[in-house]
């Protein structure tokens, strides 16, 4: 297995409390690790430790073998896709400008960037001609989420981090996007760490599941192993997915 993301002994303390405590996992190429857990379990914190939006108190993170602590944070993050629940599209940028953000930061030629933007918008199911010049406030929630995904993929990152990206959508749109997303990820062969509190989403999208409870991993294994696990915390989540 080709390890894309290797996390060892990750720990994050805030005001004496450990929000993440001794978390270790490895994600191989093409795998999707879902970090599952209740609110406050430390899922988002773990995610933000991976792209160093916050600094770990202990432990290390390696992406494709490089120790992140030795790299410049901003440059590093351009090689990692990041999608958050509120999406955070720049309201004063068009859809095309939003998707083209990282190519712009990386100083791509305008032809290369334009082509990539067109490609990505088509990939997420948005017609580039219609949607390219639009502004985020002119889009629906589902459309905005698609743009967010396209934006994260712009620089063709080996790793994508997603924090409850479909959480703010209505159930019908959410299901539609989940399905499309799964197909997209399989097609592009991307490696993902995906945070959610929804067990059904975890089962649908994940190849592996890590169950976080009070900052520690209560379970780490494949999705099938999760389904069959006798652990009470796992059973609780499985029941909620039924």
The reply to whether 51 sits near other proteins by the rule CB under 8 A is yes
Of 89 and 126, which CB lies nearer to other proteins in the complex structure? 89
The reply to whether 187 sits near other proteins by the rule CB under 8 A is no
* Bridge partners of residue 220, in order along the sequence: 210
Site string for other proteins, 103-122 (x = CB under 8 A): --x-----------------
- Kindly indicate which of the ranges 24-32, 55-63, 70-78, 199-207 contains the residues binding other proteins, using the contact rule CB under 8 A: 70-78
* CA distances in angstroms from 16 to 7, 11, 12, 19, 20, listed in the order given: 22, 12, 10, 9, 12
- Of the candidate residues 24, 67, 90, 156, the single one contacting other proteins (CB under 8 A): 90
The reply to whether 76 sits near other proteins by the rule CB under 8 A is yes
Q: Is the dihedral angle over the CA atoms 118, 121, 127, 130 positive or is it negative? A: negative
- Kindly indicate which of the ranges 144-152, 186-194, 196-204, 232-240 contains the residues binding other proteins, using the contact rule CB under 8 A: 144-152
- Kindly indicate which of the ranges 34-42, 112-120, 145-153, 222-230 contains the residues binding other proteins, using the contact rule CB under 8 A: 145-153
DSSP 70: G
Output b/e per residue, 141-176; b: 16+ Cβ within 10 A. Answer: ebbbbbbbbbbbbbbebbbbbbbbbbbebeeebbee
- Of the candidate residues 3, 135, 214, 238, the single one contacting other proteins (CB under 8 A): 135
For residues 33 and 25, the answer to whether their CB atoms sit within 8 Å is yes
Of 144 and 220, which CB lies nearer to other proteins in the complex structure? 144
The reply to whether 45 sits near other proteins by the rule CB under 8 A is no
* Bridge partners of residue 67, in order along the sequence: 62
Q: What's the CA angle centered on 234, arms 56 and 34, to 5 degrees?
A: 45
Q: What SS3 class is residue 206?
A: coil
Q: How far is the CB of 98 from other proteins (least distance, A)?
A: 9
Q: How far is the CB of 19 from other proteins (least distance, A)?
A: 17
* Bridge partners of residue 8, in order along the sequence: 60
The reply to whether 137 sits near other proteins by the rule CB under 8 A is yes
Q: Which two tokens stand for residue 214?
A: 């009070």
The reply to whether 181 sits near other proteins by the rule CB under 8 A is no
- Could you give the CA distance from residue 117 to residue 72 in angstroms, rounded to a whole number? 26
* CA distances in angstroms from 97 to 101, 127, 131, listed in the order given: 6, 15, 11
Q: How far is the CB of 137 from other proteins (least distance, A)?
A: 5
Binding site for other proteins (CB under 8 A): 51, 53, 74-80, 82, 84, 86-92, 101-102, 105, 135, 137, 148, 151-152, 161
């Amino acid at each position: 297995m080709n390890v894309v993301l290797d996390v060892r002994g990750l720990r994050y303390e805030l005001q004496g409390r450990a929000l993440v405590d001794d978390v270790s996992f490895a994600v191989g190429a093409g795998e999707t690790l879902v970090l599952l857990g209740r609110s406050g379990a430390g899922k988002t914190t773990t995610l933000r430790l991976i792209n160093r939006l916050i600094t770990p108190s202990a432990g290390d993170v390696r992406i494709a073998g490089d120790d992140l602590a030795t790299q410049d944070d901003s440059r590093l993050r351009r090689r990692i896709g990041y999608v958050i629940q509120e999406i955070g599209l720049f309201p004063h940028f068009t859809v095309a400008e939003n998707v083209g953000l990282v190519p712009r930061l990386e100083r791509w030629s305008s032809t290369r960037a334009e082509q990539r933007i067109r490609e990505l918008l088509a990939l997420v199911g948005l017609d580039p001609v219609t949607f390219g010049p639009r502004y985020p406030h002119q889009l629906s929630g589902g459309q905005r989420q698609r743009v967010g995904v396209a934006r994260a993929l712009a620089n063709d990152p080996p790793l994508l981090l997603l924090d409850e990206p479909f959480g703010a959508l209505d159930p019908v749109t959410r299901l539609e996007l989940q399905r499309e997303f799964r197909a997209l990820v399989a097609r592009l062969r991307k490696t993902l760490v995906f945070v959610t509190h929804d067990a059904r989403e975890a089962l649908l999208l994940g190849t592996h599941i890590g169950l976080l409870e009070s900052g520690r991993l209560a379970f780490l294994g494949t999705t099938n192993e999760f389904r069959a696990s006798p652990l009470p915390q796992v059973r609780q989540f499985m029941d909620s997915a039924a």
